[in-house]
Structure formats: C-alpha cells, structure tokens
Amino acid sequence: MLATTYRRPYKVRVDHVPDPVIEHPNDAIVRVTRTCICGSDLHLYHGLVPDTRVGSVFGHEFCGVVEEIGPSVQNLKVGDHVTVPFNIFCGSCEMCQRELYSNCRNVNSQSTAIGGIYGYSHSAGGYNGGQAEYVRVPFADIGPTVIPQGMHIEDAVLLTDVVPTGYQAAEMGDIQEGDTVVIFGAGPIGIMAARASWLLGAGRVIVVDHVDYRLDFVSRFGPAETVNFREVDDMAIHIKKMTDWMGADVCIDAVGAEAAGSAMQRLTGVKMKLQAGAATALYWAINCVRSGGNVSIVGVYGPTFNAVPIGNALNKGITMRMNQASVKRHHPRLIEHIQAGRIKPREMITHRLPLEEVDEAYHMFASKQDNCIKTVLIPPR
C-alpha cells in the first residue's frame, strides 16, 4: 500500500510499504478514506519528537471503512464507516474507567508518559498511522465510532482530534457564564477552542496569533476578537487594557512547543518576535489570566520543557489543567453539536490533496502558505 513515511526533519514522502495485518484478535484493519495533517504532526516533521524512526508511517487523524476484523471484535462489522480517535486505549484500565483515555495504563509508555497515539513515534507506542491506504486499529471494539448516517465525511475526520481537542481545551478552562476567554493560537485547535468557548458560556472570546489569514478566519468562525501579536509590545498589558485591567478569566494555550516558531522562521524566512526557546504562548497565558483564573493547555510540549513562569502562576493563585484530549469521551456530545449545526468543522478545511502529494502538503501547512488552515489527504481508490 501507499503510506506517508518519515525520512528526516522536514522530509516525508509517500512510499510503498507492506499492508497492515491483524496482529491481535481485537484488531481491525481500516481502509482510509480521508486523513488530515495536524499541528502535532509538525512536531514530528520538525524532528522534535523523541524516537521518531525513519520509515515509520505518520497520521493520527483518519476515518475510513472497516475492511477486516479480528476474531474477538464484536462492536464493528466489515463495511462500517468509522472515525477513529487519535488515542489508542484499552477501555478497561483504571484510567480508561475515569475516561482518561489519553492516559490509558495499558498503552502508556512508563518512561515518557505519552499515551498510545497512531503514527506518533516510538515514544507514543510505535503504532503506524493513518496517512496511508490502510491502518491497523488495535482495541477495535473500543476506539472507533461508527459515523452517523448523513454526517459529512470531512466533519467525521475532524472528530478524530481537532473538534474534541478544541472542546476539551475550553472544558479544562472551566468557563463560567460570561467569562472572557483568551486563546493563544489560531490554528485548527485554537479555532475550535474559540467555537467551543461560546458553547460553554463564554461572554467574550479573544484569539491571539500573528498569521493574519487565520485571525481573519477565526474572527468569523469563532467568532472572536483578534490580536496580532506582532503589533503588541507587552501582551499582558495589552490583554489587561482590553479587559478593564482585570485580565482574562480563562487563557488557553493552543500553540505548544515554541520551537515550532523557530521552525516556521526557518521555512518562511519571516523573523518571529518570540523569545528563543521559551514557551511564549504559555508564558503569555499565565501572565494574561486574572488572579484566581484558569489556564488550560492543549499545545504539545516535549516531556521536560521547563520555561514556565511558575512563580507568577503561584502568586496569582491560578489553576492550570492540561492533557492530551480524551477524544472518545467527547464524541456523543460533539456529534450532537455538529448535527444541530452549532459546530461546522469542515469549514476550516482549506485544502484537499491526493495522498501522493503529502510532501508538498506538509510543507504548505508548516510554512502557512496559500492561506492553509487544514489539509485533507485523499488516498487513491
């Protein structure tokens, strides 16, 4: 089959690799119909994720058709159309019982504490991903959700990550009726967090980025007020001025490892106004939230990232919550929101390309070319 394989930092390509096979009675094989590139894939692409092996297959956002099931699988049948959460989880351990699927004890790496994720390096279990024609889905009775009748395939594929992660970002902020929410990052995750903030009762939503076309998009999709951080000298003062000197009730970090900023600088040649090596978005989030407010982090960092102004956080008495999204937990509610038209995920899809053009697709998404927000790859067939 054809699959997206990692070659080296800034280089992926489509290769012929062996078809996946059932390795365990609980496995299914899914024929991929749509798959996306995520901001998290950029951390792999930039060579920032430990133990990313040459030749491994990328992709944790995919939906498709069940092609084959192992002998123990009962909840799926061949021919079902499914959307598959990016987390791989057993469904029965102590963590899964608490719906902390991203922290499943049976799949979690004890050394890095990263849960099982499709196509996300050997530090996340070494599972091959779904930017391919076929993918092996472990715990097939537990992870996949059968796509409801009538749901658009491009909405379904965004249920694998973007919609639940954006929703969980807002949920972890514990937004109260009328709260002011400031979101750092106008990528797909920040855009969806803006939408979800309204659904959870926000009274005001402000999104910060420096990519104008993304700010423009979120100003309509959120909707949201926007701040271009290139035009701001001191972010904390700026947000305070916007909020009657109070600060935000809730700040959300939808950016993560700032090294992505320097990586982008390398790709575009555009100098970024960022402190080298610092978690600027997280730093801003802590400094922009009001005393006693909440900071929610979904942006992804390396396991031992340290540049956090923890003293400010303590002095302000803020609450910080963070996690990889537990995608499956959110599916019932989010399917309802999509069916009712309260969330229209596929509006953020800007590009649809054949899987064979994956190298160009990664480059375009990473360097923010051609007004790219979200790219869907379509495998041949």
- The residues of the shown chain that bind ligand NAD, judged by CB under 6 A, are 38-40, 42-43, 161, 165, 184-190, 208-211, 214, 229, 254-256, 261, 274, 280-281, 298-300, 324-325
Distance CA 272, CA 143 (A): 39
Instruction: Return the CA Rg of the chain.
Output: 20
- Binding site partner of 43, from ligand NAD, Zn ion, none, Cβ cut-off 5-8 A by kind: ligand NAD
Q: Which is nearer to ligand NAD, 73 or 205 (CB)?
A: 205
Of residues 49, 52, 50, 42, the one with CA closest to residue 263: 42
CB 123, CB 47: distance < 8 Å: no
For residue 306, give every residue at least 6 positions away whose Cβ sits within 8 Å of its Cβ, in sequence order, or none. Answer: none
State the minimum distance, in angstroms, from the CB of residue 29 to ligand NAD: 25
Taking CB under 5 A as the rule, does residue 124 contact Zn ion?
A: no
For residue 153, the minimal CB distance to ligand NAD (Å) is 20
Q: Beta strand 62-69 with 349-354: parallel, antiparallel or unpaired?
A: unpaired
**Strands in the chain per DSSP E:** 2-8, 11-16, 28-36, 62-69, 81-84, 87-88, 116-117, 134-137, 145-146, 180-184, 204-209, 225-228, 248-253, 289-297, 319-322, 349-354, 374-378
Selected from 4, 5, 35, 40, the binder of Zn ion by CB under 5 A is 40
Interaction pattern, residues 160-199, with Zn ion; x per rule: CB under 5 A = -x--------------------------------------
34 binds, among Zn ion, ligand NAD, none (CB under 5 to 8 A by kind): none
Q: Rounded CA gap, 319 and 172, in Å?
A: 10
38 makes contact with Zn ion (CB under 5 A): yes
List the single partner that 211 binds among ligand NAD, Zn ion, none, CB under 5 to 8 Å by kind: ligand NAD
Question: Which residue number, 38 or 366, has a Cβ lying nearer to Zn ion?
Answer: 38
Q: Are 380 and 354 in contact (CB under 8 A)?
A: yes
Q: Does 35 bind Zn ion (CB under 5 A)?
A: no
What residue is closest to Zn ion based on CB?
38
Shortest reach from residue 162's CB to Zn ion, in Å: 7
Helix axes 212-221, 188-199, angle to 10 degrees: 20
Residue ranges binding Zn ion (CB under 5 A): 38, 40, 61, 161
